[in-house]
């Protein structure tokens, strides 16, 4: 396998280790897979671990168009302390020894389910005037940030010790939601402050942590020449879409950029939907949608 191999295409669901940046994972895998064209979806902070879908070869075209935008996290938290990073790795800004009962925590939790507004943390990858907020924060600077709306499907407190004021919660949300900010805001609402102590992403973009591979497992798979068996087909990321299967003649026309009339294509799915298009030999060609009753390519993967 080499960087010039254009036939390699698929998704490697990686279990990102704690202490690594998402870029570290991609850089490492470039060496392991000996493929330059890699990308990832859904950046994870260094202290976080869990699901990081890595896209290989032409599959990188899918990074920014994943239809499943839901994320699920298991987050550790501690009440009674705040930091500049909103997590346990930061500089302590305040401490509060006040008691907090499980009932109080449960009542506050309800306030952060549904559509909420968040202020992006300074230690985040959001850009302001062309510079990442975390870069400004490391320079001791602050920047004007605009509150953003985000959607939280559910928050469940799964562990809480009233003596240590430490616990764990699971959060199901849409992309763009900062778990650190949820915990910090909950701490503010309680009145004691709170920080995130750990973070594991258990689901992202249609991929579950039980399906993810560690870096060591991927290294072993590649050493045995079985990478193709480990990668998931790129069309798996679009399973929620209907399918269109083309015969040999229509496959040739489609691949040459010819728009096909709806009557030429067999499908019972409503015309306004996006479809996965498969060629006569069963290969995934890409995504398409009907426009003015003609099948028009959205993204090609051939």
Catalytic residues: 45
Question: Three-state SS for 96?
Answer: coil
Residues 6+ apart with CB under 8 A from 270: none
Q: Which residues, other chains included, contact 137 with Cβ-Cβ below 8 Å and sequence gap of 6+? A: 84, 85, 122, 123
- Is the Cβ–Cβ distance between 108 and 190 less than 8 Å? yes
Written as six digits, the tokens of 5 are 């191999």
In this structure, are residues 267 and 283 in contact, taking their beta carbons and an 8 Å threshold? no
Per DSSP, the three-state class of 75 is: strand
Please calculate the CA angle 108-112-116 and round it to the nearest 5 degrees: 145
38-41, long-range: CB < 8 A, 24+ apart: 39/63, 41/66, 41/204, 41/205
What's the chain's length in residues? Answer: 302
N-to-C CA span, the chain: 19
What SS3 class is residue 92?
strand
Distance CA 247, CA 173 (A): 40
Cα distance between residue 206 and residue 24, in whole Å: 22
Cα–Cα distance for residue pair 228/61, rounded to 1 Å:
18
Token pair belonging to 94: 């305040």
For the record, the structure tokens of 185 come out as 């805001």
């Amino acid at each position: 396998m080499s960087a010039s191999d254009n036939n390699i295409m698929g998704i490697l669901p990686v279990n990102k280790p704690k202490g690594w940046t998402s870029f570290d994972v991609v850089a490492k895998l470039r060496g392991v897979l000996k493929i330059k064209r890699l990308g990832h979806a859904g950046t994870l902070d260094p202290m976080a671990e869990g699901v990081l879908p890595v896209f290989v070869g032409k599959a990188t075209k899918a990074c920014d168009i994943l239809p499943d935008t839901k994320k699920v996290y298991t987050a550790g938290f501690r009440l009674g302390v705040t930091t500049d990073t909103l997590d346990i790795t930061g500089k302590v800004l305040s401490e509060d020894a006040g008691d907090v009962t499980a009932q109080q925590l449960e009542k506050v939790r309800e306030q952060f389910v549904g559509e909420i507004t968040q202020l992006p943390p300074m230690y985040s990858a959001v850009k302001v005037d062309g510079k990442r907020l975390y870069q400004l924060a490391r320079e001791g600077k602050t920047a004007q940030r605009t509150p953003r709306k985000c959607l939280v499907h559910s928050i469940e407190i799964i562990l809480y010790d009233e003596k240590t004021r430490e616990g764990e919660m699971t959060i199901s949300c849409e992309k763009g939601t900062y778990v650190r900010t949820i915990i910090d805001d909950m701490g503010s609402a309680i009145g004691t402050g709170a920080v995130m102590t750990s973070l594991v992403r258990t689901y992202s973009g249609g991929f579950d942590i039980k399906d993810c591979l560690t870096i060591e497992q991927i290294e072993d798979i590649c050493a045995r020449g079985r990478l193709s068996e480990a990668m998931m087909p790129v069309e798996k990321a679009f399973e929620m879409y209907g399918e269109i299967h083309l015969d040999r003649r229509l496959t040739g026309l489609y691949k040459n950029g010819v728009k096909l009339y709806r009557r030429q294509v067999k499908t019972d799915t409503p015309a306004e939907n996006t479809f996965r298009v498969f060629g006569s030999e069963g290969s995934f060609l890409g995504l398409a949608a009907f426009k003015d009753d003609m099948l028009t390519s959205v993204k090609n993967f051939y």
